[in-house]
Chain A
Amino acid sequence: MSTLLPQADRADVPPAAHLLAVEDLTVEFRTRRGVVHAVNGVDFHLDERETLAILGESGSGKSVTAQAIMGILDTPPGFITRGAIRYRGTDVLTLREEDRRKVRGQKIAMIFQDALSALNPVFSVGWQLGEMARVHRGASRSEAKRAAIELMERVRIPNAAQRVGAYPHEFSGGMRQRIMIAMALALNPDILIADEPTTALDVTVQAQIMQLLAGLQDETGMGLILITHDLGVVADVADRIAVMYAGKIVENARVHDIYARPAHPYSEGLLASIPRVDQRGGKLEAIRGAPPSLIDLPPGCSFHPRCDYRRDNCTRDVPPLYEVSADRGSACHYWQEVLGAQ
């Protein structure tokens, strides 16, 4: 029958097997209004060439998880109170500051939703792209400029040589996101974390950016963590998916499995509630209520106030991540019923 995934599994698989392994990651924000439990014991791993989607709504903890991995959490108020973040087996949280920075700066890179505010408006994009080469490799100005042009060509910005001296505001939203991607690739990272990379973009531009990311991943073999709320984008590109709700992974699975047969009521509810471009509308099956406050999480399963499968013990017992099958878990006491419902 169901066994608990996290601890049981870890003993026999050496963590070094994974490019990135996040274990029991717990992050809280200590605010005046109380402690915000943003991430509550998250486990996942990522291998080379793999695309892992972390899907969740605002406040689910998906972006905070990414910030914790990148080491860009605002501390205070944010603190990692438990857990490990292993890059090729080494827990970066236990490293000395200097070594930690080497891993995070060079091996793990991140792009954000808002490319305009991530770029410095008073320097040309060429200067900002060349900065990587100057700072990390001690390149001269002309070498740095050449490196910048190469990077711009890699992300397919037309007329790179002419546009290298242009400033961020002179580029469109899609082109700015390409510049962010170029910057992230400058040091040839093994892992790219993309936090809602296309949310601010129009749909035709989104398609261009996702195609670019897929192409670059093929080229370099990097692992990609895609943080998003968009079930469409996930279905398009992800190999595996981790669904987050109230700071926990409630279901993780291969992408084909979860779309065909979700094993957690929240995943099931999300899939039923979205209108689809390939289907005509009927009534949408909305999930009732709203996500809980992270200061005052409901006892037991955090999803129970909105759940149709709820029984008495759901309000009491926190569900562990039950093993549904190899490489698949669901944090629902009644996951078999959810699976059986489809």
Chain B
Amino acid sequence: MPSDLNREPRTPGEPLLRVEHLVKHFPLTQGIIFKRTIGAVQAVDDVSFELRRGETLGLVGESGCGKTTTAKTLLRLEEPTSGAAYFNGQDIFRLSRGELRTARRKIQIIFQDPYASLNPRMTIGDIITEAWEIHPDVVPRAERSDRARDLLERVGLPGESLNRYPHQFSGGQRQRVGIARALTLNPDLIICDEPVSALDVSVQAQVINLLEEIQDEFGIAYIFVAHDLSVVRHISDRVAVMYLGRIVEIGDEDDIYEKATHPYTQALLSAVPVPNPEGREHRTRIMLEGDLPNPADPPSGCRFRTRCFKAQEKCAEEDPALIDRSGHGHPSACHFPEVLLSVGS
């Protein structure tokens, strides 16, 4: 890891968020009365990244790669095992309950499932104004219903929706309610955990456009967690690709989608079907062999080596650091990084 990550933060011009060496292990236990720890699932293992104000960082990878766990620890919905996350100057992981409450105002989350994430017994108005009950100084009581109405209209729902219940809305509309709720406390950062993957194709675009408009208007930064590489390319300024608890490659949208150097990123991109049948006979595709290794017992050296088409002896012996080895302009955790020109179309 570059050593400058370890210096103490807090100068103006700092990134909004700096995550350093984040680790989250889930212990595996055996026995019912006398529990013994017999190992740990290394869900997130030494993840570091930065996020600037108003920027979107896409976090991609397949199931089990640790992208959702990474996002959840930033809200302390999961307690990290170790590491630090400096947000607006404070290490979120070291805040007391009370401090955390204040800090969380500035970090909000939008969930994947708009059916499960809204309380069916609360009206839309109650859902929106609930945060102001907890943080009463944000909006004076008398103005709350007007503000809630404004927010709903901003996300494209009629103001009268205030008195209605979640079941009266479609999936896309509920996701708009989720977005309005995330905006109530004027956050600096919204974590979007697969926000459009449960929506129909024709509705996805509406929600993606809305998220982009809101970002432009309020200058909010997004951490956009998704498995859909097309959506992530569309919305992200920078992208981090995760595999088995690690970031294997990180860079600008263009670095990752046009100049990827990590074999896993290349395989992932080549597997995404392109919605254009022209020339499909000539498309090259990197087929990965086998399945994801057990995250409780990851391979030695490079974690991807067991499925990598480039693996050599060195890969089993030496864990490749996430650095720019070959002057491609962005870091890649591969001993043999190179741009593959034939990937994709």
Contacts and interface: CB of A to CB of B under 8 A. Distances in A.
Interface string A254-276: 01100110000000011101111
A255 B273 CA distance: 14
Contacts of B104: none
Contacts of A275: 205, 208, 230-231, 233-235
Interface in A244-261: 255-256, 259-260
B145 interface: no
A105 B17 CA distance: 57
A174 B307 CA distance: 15
Interface residue tally of chain A, by bracket? Answer: 35 or more
Most chain-B CB neighbours within 10 Å: which of A202, A256, A260, A288?
A202
Contacts of B271: 203-204, 206-207
Given A203-B268, A275-B234, A287 B202 contact: yes
A174 to B, nearest CB: 7
Interface stretch (B21-29, B82-90, B275-283): B275-283
A274 B229 contact: no
B344 A284 contact: no
A118 interface: no
A277 B209 contact: no
B205 A284 contact: yes
Nearest to B172: A290
A198 to B, nearest CB: 10
Given A204-B62, A208-B287, A275-B233, A232 B275 contact: yes
A115 B275 CA distance: 26
Given A235-B276, A276-B230, A284 B209 contact: yes
Given A172-B292, A276-B230, A281-B233, A235 B257 contact: no
Given A204-B268, A211-B287, A231-B201, A286 B233 contact: no
Contact of A277 (B173, B202, B274, B288): B274
A232 B274 contact: yes
B345 interface: yes
B201 A203 contact: no
B274 A274 contact: no
Contacts of B276: 235, 259, 278
Contacts of A232: 230, 272-275
A290 B278 contact: no
B172 to A, nearest CB: 6
Interface in B241-282: 253-254, 257, 267-278, 280
Contacts of B292: 172
B48 interface: no
Contact of B209 (A204, A236, A259, A286): A286
Nearest to A286: B205
A202 B227 contact: yes
A269 B209 contact: no
Contact of B273 (A57, A233, A260, A281): A233
Nearest to A198: B273
A277 B200 contact: no
B230 A274 contact: yes
A175 interface: yes
Nearest to B264: A204
A231 B204 CA distance: 13
B150 to A, nearest CB: 22
Contacts of A285: 205
Contacts of A174: 291
B264 to A, nearest CB: 9
Contacts of A304: none
Contact of A284 (B170, B200, B208, B270): B208
B272 A283 contact: no
Contact of B269 (A210, A269, A271, A277): A277
A259 B275 CA distance: 8
Contact of B202 (A235, A259, A270): A270
Given A202-B62, A290-B173, A276 B274 contact: yes
Contacts of B277: 235-236, 238, 255-256, 259
19 contacts: A158-B290, A203-B62, A203-B227, A203-B229, A204-B62, A206-B271, A207-B273, A233-B273, A235-B274, A235-B277, A256-B278, A259-B276, A271-B275, A275-B205, A277-B274, A280-B254, A284-B208, A286-B205, A290-B173
Given A259-B276, A275-B233, 6 more contacts: A57-B200, A58-B200, A232-B273, A259-B275, A286-B203, A290-B170
Interface of B: 62-63, 170, 172-173, 200-206, 208-209, 212, 227, 229-231, 233-235, 253-254, 257, 267-278, 280, 285, 287-288, 290-292, 344-345
Interface of A: 57-58, 158, 172-175, 202-208, 210-211, 229-236, 238, 255-256, 259-260, 269-271, 273-281, 283-288, 290-291, 306
